[in-house]
Protein backbone atom coordinates (compact mmCIF):
# COMPACT_ATOMS: atom_id res chain seq x y z
CA UNK A 1 0.00 0.00 0.00
CA UNK A 2 1.48 3.33 -1.01
CA UNK A 3 1.17 6.38 1.21
CA UNK A 4 -0.35 9.46 -0.30
CA UNK A 5 0.67 12.96 0.69
CA UNK A 6 -2.13 15.15 2.06
CA UNK A 7 -3.40 17.80 -0.31
CA UNK A 8 -6.16 20.37 0.30
CA UNK A 9 -7.41 19.68 -3.24
CA UNK A 10 -8.04 16.01 -2.39
CA UNK A 11 -10.77 17.10 0.07
CA UNK A 12 -12.57 19.33 -2.47
CA UNK A 13 -15.58 17.92 -4.32
CA UNK A 14 -15.09 17.06 -7.97
CA UNK A 15 -16.73 19.21 -10.61
CA UNK A 16 -19.12 16.33 -11.33
CA UNK A 17 -20.16 16.12 -7.64
CA UNK A 18 -20.69 19.89 -7.51
CA UNK A 19 -22.78 19.85 -10.70
CA UNK A 20 -24.84 16.88 -9.47
CA UNK A 21 -25.56 18.71 -6.21
CA UNK A 22 -26.46 21.91 -8.06
CA UNK A 23 -28.78 20.02 -10.40
CA UNK A 24 -30.48 18.16 -7.52
CA UNK A 25 -30.98 21.39 -5.56
CA UNK A 26 -32.40 23.29 -8.54
CA UNK A 27 -35.67 21.32 -8.43
CA UNK A 28 -38.23 22.20 -5.79
CA UNK A 29 -40.05 18.91 -6.27
CA UNK A 30 -38.18 15.78 -7.45
CA UNK A 31 -39.54 14.44 -10.71
CA UNK A 32 -38.84 11.62 -13.11
CA UNK A 33 -39.85 11.01 -16.71
CA UNK A 34 -42.22 8.16 -17.51
CA UNK A 35 -44.13 7.25 -20.64
CA UNK A 36 -47.02 9.40 -19.39
CA UNK A 37 -44.94 12.51 -18.75
CA UNK A 38 -43.23 13.89 -15.66
CA UNK A 39 -44.07 11.97 -12.51
CA UNK A 40 -43.46 13.06 -8.92
CA UNK A 41 -41.08 10.89 -6.91
CA UNK A 42 -40.89 10.74 -3.13
CA UNK A 43 -38.97 13.41 -1.25
CA UNK A 44 -36.18 11.97 0.90
CA UNK A 45 -34.11 12.90 3.93
CA UNK A 46 -30.91 10.88 4.35
CA UNK A 47 -28.63 11.29 7.36
CA UNK A 48 -26.14 9.45 9.56
CA UNK A 49 -27.11 8.63 13.14
CA UNK A 50 -24.33 6.87 15.07
CA UNK A 51 -23.43 3.63 13.28
CA UNK A 52 -26.57 3.82 11.13
CA UNK A 53 -27.82 5.64 8.09
CA UNK A 54 -31.44 6.77 8.22
CA UNK A 55 -33.61 7.36 5.17
CA UNK A 56 -37.01 9.01 5.55
CA UNK A 57 -39.26 9.03 2.49
CA UNK A 58 -42.52 10.98 2.19
CA UNK A 59 -45.11 8.59 0.72
CA UNK A 60 -48.48 10.20 1.52
CA UNK A 61 -51.54 8.15 0.77
CA UNK A 62 -49.69 4.93 -0.04
CA UNK A 63 -50.57 1.59 1.44
CA UNK A 64 -47.40 0.09 3.03
CA UNK A 65 -47.97 -3.03 0.90
CA UNK A 66 -47.48 -0.87 -2.24
CA UNK A 67 -43.92 0.08 -1.20
CA UNK A 68 -40.85 -2.09 -1.86
CA UNK A 69 -37.39 -1.60 -0.33
CA UNK A 70 -34.22 -3.43 -1.34
CA UNK A 71 -30.63 -3.15 -0.12
CA UNK A 72 -27.58 -4.37 -2.02
CA UNK A 73 -24.12 -3.38 -0.76
CA UNK A 74 -24.33 0.39 -0.31
CA UNK A 75 -27.35 0.82 -2.60
CA UNK A 76 -30.91 1.29 -1.29
CA UNK A 77 -33.86 1.27 -3.68
CA UNK A 78 -37.36 2.39 -2.72
CA UNK A 79 -40.08 1.73 -5.27
CA UNK A 80 -43.83 1.45 -5.45
CA UNK A 81 -46.97 2.54 -7.20
CA UNK A 82 -49.10 5.60 -6.58
CA UNK A 83 -52.78 4.92 -7.37
CA UNK A 84 -54.04 6.11 -10.74
CA UNK A 85 -56.67 8.84 -10.90
CA UNK A 86 -60.30 7.81 -11.41
CA UNK A 87 -61.54 7.90 -15.02
CA UNK A 88 -63.17 11.13 -16.13
CA UNK A 89 -61.72 13.33 -13.40
CA UNK A 90 -60.75 16.77 -14.71
CA UNK A 91 -58.09 18.38 -12.57
CA UNK A 92 -57.76 22.14 -12.19
CA UNK A 93 -54.39 21.70 -10.54
CA UNK A 94 -52.32 18.56 -9.98
CA UNK A 95 -49.02 17.98 -8.15
CA UNK A 96 -49.29 14.46 -6.74
CA UNK A 97 -47.81 11.74 -8.90
CA UNK A 98 -49.44 8.60 -10.21
CA UNK A 99 -48.05 5.31 -11.40
CA UNK A 100 -44.73 3.65 -10.66
CA UNK A 101 -41.87 5.41 -8.87
CA UNK A 102 -38.35 4.36 -7.95
CA UNK A 103 -35.56 6.10 -6.03
CA UNK A 104 -32.08 4.66 -5.57
CA UNK A 105 -29.72 6.07 -2.95
CA UNK A 106 -25.99 5.30 -2.90
CA UNK A 107 -24.58 5.54 0.61
CA UNK A 108 -20.87 6.03 1.33
CA UNK A 109 -20.34 2.60 2.97
CA UNK A 110 -21.60 -0.96 2.75
CA UNK A 111 -24.73 -1.77 4.79
CA UNK A 112 -25.82 -4.66 6.98
CA UNK A 113 -29.13 -5.48 5.27
CA UNK A 114 -29.93 -8.26 7.77
CA UNK A 115 -30.15 -5.70 10.60
CA UNK A 116 -32.12 -3.07 8.65
CA UNK A 117 -35.39 -1.79 10.13
CA UNK A 118 -38.33 -0.24 8.28
CA UNK A 119 -41.21 1.65 9.88
CA UNK A 120 -44.13 3.30 8.08
CA UNK A 121 -46.35 5.80 9.88
CA UNK A 122 -48.44 8.79 8.77
CA UNK A 123 -47.19 8.48 5.19
CA UNK A 124 -43.49 8.53 6.13
CA UNK A 125 -41.25 5.52 5.56
CA UNK A 126 -38.28 5.46 7.98
CA UNK A 127 -35.43 3.08 7.20
CA UNK A 128 -32.63 2.51 9.72
CA UNK A 129 -29.69 0.90 7.94
CA UNK A 130 -26.69 -0.18 10.03
CA UNK A 131 -23.25 0.19 8.53
CA UNK A 132 -21.55 -3.13 7.80
CA UNK A 133 -18.97 -4.18 10.41
CA UNK A 134 -16.23 -3.87 7.78
CA UNK A 135 -17.20 -0.19 7.26
CA UNK A 136 -16.95 0.78 10.94
CA UNK A 137 -13.70 2.27 12.22
CA UNK A 138 -11.62 -0.04 14.38
CA UNK A 139 -9.17 0.90 17.11
CA UNK A 140 -5.80 -0.76 16.70
CA UNK A 141 -3.82 -1.28 19.89
CA UNK A 142 -0.26 0.01 19.89
CA UNK A 143 2.58 -1.86 21.51
CA UNK A 144 5.64 -0.08 22.83
CA UNK A 145 9.20 -1.28 22.75
CA UNK A 146 10.96 -3.67 20.50
Can you give the residue range of the structural domain that contains 126? 34-85+98-135
Has residue 26 been placed in a domain? no
| Each residue's pLDDT tens digit, 5-48 | 666 666 566 777 777 766 665 544 455 554 554 556 788 999 99
Has residue 141 been placed in a domain? no
DSSP string, 18-74: HHHHHHHHT-SS-EEEETTEEEE---EEEEEETTEEEEEEE-TT--GGGEEEEEETT
**What per-residue confidence (pLDDT) applies to 29?**
46
Residue 138 or residue 119, greater confidence: 119
**What per-residue confidence (pLDDT) applies to 2?**
58
Has residue 131 been placed in a domain? yes
Count of domains forming the chain = 1
Has residue 60 been placed in a domain? yes
**What per-residue confidence (pLDDT) applies to 82?**
85
Has residue 14 been placed in a domain? no
Give the angle subtended at the CA of 143 by the CAs of 140 and 146, to the nearest 5°.
145
Has residue 102 been placed in a domain? yes
Has residue 48 been placed in a domain? yes
On the question of pLDDT at 52 being above 80, the answer is yes
| Each residue's pLDDT tens digit, 69-109 | 999 989 999 999 888 888 898 888 877 777 888 999 999 98
**What per-residue confidence (pLDDT) applies to 140?**
75
Beta sheet of 124-130, edge-to-edge order: 44-49, 52-58, 124-130, 117-121
Has residue 29 been placed in a domain? no
CATH of the domain at 64: 2.60.40.790
**What per-residue confidence (pLDDT) applies to 143?**
83
Amino acid sequence: MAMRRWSPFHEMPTLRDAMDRLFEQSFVRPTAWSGNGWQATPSLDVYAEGDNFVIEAALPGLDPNAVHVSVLGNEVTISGDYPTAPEGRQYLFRERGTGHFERTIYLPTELNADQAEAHYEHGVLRLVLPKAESAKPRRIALTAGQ
